Amino acid sequence: MNEFQEKILKICNESTKNTFMETIGIEYVDVGENFLTAKMPVSPTVHQPDGVLHGGVTAALAESVGSVAAHVFLNGQDVMIRGTQITANHISSIKEGVVFATASAIHMGRTTQLWDIKVSDGDGKLISSCRLSTIALQKK
């Protein structure tokens, strides 16, 4: 990993301080030319009553990595990113370990973006496939 990538990941991780993302343990771990990856631990704190990863937490992970990716790939423009729609298809379940969410751009417009987010376990098994629409709003 080069110095620029390390700088981007540091900024991404600093942005989660004192937020829901920090509470559920999201950490940004990889960034490339057209993707951003975060990881999150799976433990009882993010389980549904049946003892597996809660689908809502999975959606929150996907929206978090997609929204941060939108900000990163808009080249640091002074904008606010907001999710406008998210869909999540839960393919498999996981009880413990770590999940990774990788956001890849499908469309990068000036104001709207569309992201494909794959959530997988540590072995690369697909847990959820998500799609996120975001909008970039000028700060007031």
Q: Which residues are catalytic?
A: 63
Could you give the CA distance from residue 41 to residue 77 in angstroms, rounded to a whole number?
31
Residue 45 corresponds to which tokens in the numbers above?
Answer: 């704190």
In the three-class reduction of DSSP (H, G, I as helix; E, B as strand; rest coil), residue 85 is classed as strand
Closest CA to 37 of 97, 122, 113: 122
105 touches 34 (CB < 8 A):
yes
CB atoms within 10 A of CB 134: 25
